């Protein structure tokens, strides 16, 4: 079905633009998005580290969400199952699609996170900001107890830089 194929392409682009975990994207609900504020607020119960996470959305990500809405129809999920709009996309859909594109055994949907981290670190972005965007837990227990900065303004700038970089390189 054409809408599913287009939705799958959009899912890959959003994975690249937001570098969230694939499961966080698969389970994304429209109610988590504030397009006016350009934010995706993922609740704690859907995060690996069980802490709420804000994803600043680039102009490119917002445009994809606008394009995706009619494809999602009345589903509460951005990416619904092919057989039931009230269930999220299968956890195998993106991996299967990568295999069909010739990346079986060489790349995974999770790999967009490593790509983003590598490029942003090489470009000199603050590692704390990158780690916060990746929603990684602080390994230093003392630092974790006191260091709760969100860096939202800095993350917004970084996410827009990243989207512009991808536009120039890949998308």
Catalytic residue among 50, 69, 136, 147: 136
| Annotation marks residue 136 as catalytic | yes
- Helix runs in the chain, H state only: 2-18, 22-26, 59-72, 93-100, 111-122, 127-133, 141-146, 152-169
Catalytic residue among 139, 141, 146, 170: 146
| Annotation marks residue 100 as catalytic | no
Closest CA to 76 of 112, 26, 150, 14: 26
Catalytic residue among 21, 26, 53, 155: 21
| Annotation marks residue 80 as catalytic | no
Element containing residue 42 per DSSP (H, E): strand 39-42
Per DSSP, what are the bridge partners of residue 80? 88
> First vs last Cα of the chain: how many Å apart?
23
Catalytic residue among 110, 151, 156, 157: 110
| Annotation marks residue 9 as catalytic | no
Catalytic residue among 5, 37, 41, 48: 48
Catalytic residue among 13, 113, 132, 155: 113
- φ, ψ (nearest 5 deg) of residue 80: -95, 165
**Could you give the residue numbers annotated as active site?**
21, 48, 110, 113, 136, 146
């Amino acid at each position: 079905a054409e809408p599913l194929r287009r939705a799958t392409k959009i899912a890959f682009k959003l994975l690249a633009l937001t570098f969230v975990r694939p499961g966080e994207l698969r389970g994304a609900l429209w109610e988590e998005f504030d397009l006016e504020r350009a934010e995706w607020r993922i609740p704690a119960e859907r995060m690996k580290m069980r802490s709420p996470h804000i994803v600043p959305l680039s102009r490119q990500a917002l445009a994809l969400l606008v394009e995706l809405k009619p494809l999602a129809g009345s589903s509460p999920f951005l990416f619904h199952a092919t057989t039931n709009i009230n269930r999220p996309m299968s956890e195998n859909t993106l991996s299967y699609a990568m295999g069909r594109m010739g990346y079986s055994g060489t790349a995974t949907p999770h790999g967009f996170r490593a790509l983003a981290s590598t490029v942003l670190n090489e470009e000199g972005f603050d590692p704390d900001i990158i780690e916060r965007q990746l929603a990684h837990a602080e390994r230093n227990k003392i630092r974790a107890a006191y260091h709760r900065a969100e860096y939202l303004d800095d993350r917004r700038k970084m996410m827009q830089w990243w989207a512009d970089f991808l536009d120039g390189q890949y998308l």
